[in-house]
Amino acid sequence: MTRIFALGLVALLAACGADGEPERPEKGEPAFGVTLSGTAEMGISG
């Protein structure tokens, strides 16, 4: 029971911005310089 309480407390603190005020990201730049691209296909080939 103590572990569940501790995990819930950690999740609550992480969700409320316990590490400080939220900072707005700069516009025009991808976050951390990461860009994802690609394709996905699905079906039956014979």
pLDDT in tens, 4-41: 888 888 777 766 655 677 777 677 655 567 778 899 88
Residue 7 has, within 13 A of its CA and on its CB side, a CA count of 4
The pLDDT of residue 17: 59
The pLDDT of residue 8: 83
The pLDDT of residue 41: 87
Q: Which residue has the higher pLDDT, 19 or 2?
A: 2
pLDDT tier at 45 (50, 70, 90 boundaries)? confident
Q: How many CB atoms lie within 10 A of CB 18?
A: 9
The pLDDT of residue 27: 73
